[in-house]
Amino acid sequence: MAARAGEATDLGNNERHQVIGGIAIDLDRTLTPEAFPRTPGTLAERSGVWRFAPLLPAIPEDKIVSRWEGNTPLYWDDRLSAYAGLTGGRFGVKHEGHNPTGSFKDRGMTVAVSHANATGASVIACASTGNTSASLASYAATAGIPAIVLIPEGKISVGKLAQTIAYGATVVQVDGDFDVALKLLRELVETENVYLANSVNPYRPEGQKTIVLELLAQLDWQVPDIIALPGGNLGNTTAFGKALTEAFQVGLIPRLPQVITVQAEGAAPFYRYFQSGFDHYEPVQAETIATAIKIGNPASVERARETIQITNGIVTAVSDAEIMDAKAQIDRAGIGCEPASAASLAGIRKLVAAGEVSPDATVVGVVTGNVLKDTDAVARYHITDEPRHPLANRPISVPATLDALKRVIHERKEEREKRKEE
């Protein structure tokens, strides 16, 4: 049933609704790109999520909580194509770090918090490695609904913690990892009247579908060969499969791209599951520098499996060193991202080298969070790590004299000329 990239796909009639777990969307109709106008002055102009309302759950407009999310850029960068081992112009970056709280989570959060708002929720809660908590804190504050977030104590970036505190959520630091925190919260919502905003809530992936829909719209509905993304709790991998199968079923695209999910080697239970032919799944104790995806027992593992199977996708894993080198490349290109986001590029580079992805493939890598999300990781890589990384860019300290400053300018000029000669 799975199509190779480039081949037509027949999903069959019995899969017309809820192909990937979540909310049933009416797919017994044909949609054209004109279904998603960006009419000036409307919510659809402001929000790159609600623009795709025909493929989202219906929520009364006066209940929608939006911070003008989405509308993120798609960059094509030849340096990154070369780094990936792809032919020039074949690597695009869909930069979700341009969302209002700096990560893709805002797309899911506008839908979940709007739903919570429409259903009169009195408290909204999530467990998080940092980005979901920052996003929930912002959207809940916008809606005027109290938010509680559970985070693994000492295991998320300071920037994300700061963001969450600043937006006013109640932050509960749990003595355990993300998996423990999510389990605790899921138990809590069974008995307490608390709205759960993690991606096990089907409204979250609904919003995250719009990463793919907006990307396709930016490509004039021409399908790339591959969409690559980092995988942690696997809500996004789930959302991508749902978006693609729905876009296919309503006639917006003629085929499905391959979805490639990239995990960190130390947090790769989905990769191991894939390697077993999706026969044997086992959670792991997660450890990686990319704290956003430091997850050992992803909540959406089965729904994400469907995405990989339906798109004939691949799951791979990359080391922390590969992640940080790819991140340095993305940063150096002027784009910038947090460590987890760079897994997309690192994974493609690995698969091209292994011959599993053709150098001629057109690939879009989703960059999930911005460079300021984890400044500690930047400082370690560029300033303190020994031995020095090849791309390390150390700040220079000088006395406050014009001479010292001129020396720096000349030294840099000489270095550049030397590099040109080599």
Instruction: Examine residue 387 and say whether the peptide bond preceding it is cis (omega within 30 degrees of 0).
Output: yes
Question: Hey, is 95 helix, strand or coil?
Answer: strand
234 binds ligand F0G per the rule CB under 6 A: yes
201 binds ligand F0G per the rule CB under 6 A: no
The H-assigned helical ranges of 250-319 are: 269-275, 301-310
Distance from C-alpha of 377 to C-alpha of 20, rounded to nearest angstrom: 35
Q: Which of these segments, 59-67, 220-228, 233-241, 324-332, binds ligand F0G (CB under 6 A)?
A: 233-241
**β-pairing verdict for 147-152 and 314-318:** unpaired
Total binding residues for ligand F0G by CB under 6 A? 23
131 binds ligand F0G per the rule CB under 6 A: yes
Of 153-192, binders to ligand F0G (CB under 6 A) are: none
Q: Which of these segments, 46-54, 65-73, 276-284, 338-346, binds ligand F0G (CB under 6 A)?
A: 338-346
Nearest approach, Cβ of 307 to ligand F0G (angstroms)? 11
Distance from C-alpha of 267 to C-alpha of 194, rounded to nearest angstrom: 29
224 binds ligand F0G per the rule CB under 6 A: no
Could you count the other beta carbons within 10 Å of the beta carbon of residue 197? 32
241 binds ligand F0G per the rule CB under 6 A: no
CA Rg value for the chain: 22
Q: ∠ at Cα 333 (97, 234), nearest 5°?
A: 35
Q: Which of 244, 176, 253 is nearest to 211 (CA)?
A: 244
Q: For 103, which DSSP code?
A: B
Nearest approach, Cβ of 159 to ligand F0G (angstroms)? 12
Residue number, 22 or 250, with CB nearest to ligand F0G: 22
Among 369, 371, 377, 381, binds ligand F0G (CB under 6 A): 369
Q: Which of these segments, 117-125, 231-239, 376-384, 409-417, binds ligand F0G (CB under 6 A)?
A: 231-239
Residue number, 199 or 249, with CB nearest to ligand F0G: 199
Among 341, 351, 361, 371, binds ligand F0G (CB under 6 A): 341
Among 9, 47, 72, 103, binds ligand F0G (CB under 6 A): 103
Residue number, 129 or 288, with CB nearest to ligand F0G: 129
What is the pattern of x (binds ligand F0G, CB under 6 A) and - over residues 104-123? Answer: -x------------------
Residue number, 110 or 128, with CB nearest to ligand F0G: 128
338 binds ligand F0G per the rule CB under 6 A: yes
- CA dist 145 → 118, 122, 123, 136, 252 (Å): 12, 6, 6, 10, 37
**β-pairing verdict for 91-95 and 74-76:** antiparallel
Of 265-304, binders to ligand F0G (CB under 6 A) are: 292-293
Distance from C-alpha of 167 to C-alpha of 165, rounded to nearest angstrom: 6
Q: Which of these segments, 129-137, 183-191, 210-218, 305-313, binds ligand F0G (CB under 6 A)?
A: 129-137
Nearest approach, Cβ of 151 to ligand F0G (angstroms)? 8
249 binds ligand F0G per the rule CB under 6 A: no
Residue number, 133 or 245, with CB nearest to ligand F0G: 133
Distance from C-alpha of 410 to C-alpha of 180, rounded to nearest angstrom: 54
Side-chain-side CA neighbours of 327 within 13 Å: the count stands at 33
Q: Which residues contact 73 (CB under 8 A, 6 or more apart)?
A: 94, 95, 98
Sign of CA dihedral 171, 174, 176, 179: negative
Nearest approach, Cβ of 102 to ligand F0G (angstroms)? 9
Nearest approach, Cβ of 274 to ligand F0G (angstroms)? 14
Distance from C-alpha of 98 to C-alpha of 404, rounded to nearest angstrom: 38
307 binds ligand F0G per the rule CB under 6 A: no
Q: Which of 107, 130, 315 is nearest to 229 (CA)?
A: 315
Nearest approach, Cβ of 299 to ligand F0G (angstroms)? 8
365 binds ligand F0G per the rule CB under 6 A: no
Residues that bind ligand F0G (CB under 6 A): 103, 105, 128-132, 199, 230-237, 292-293, 338, 340-341, 368-369
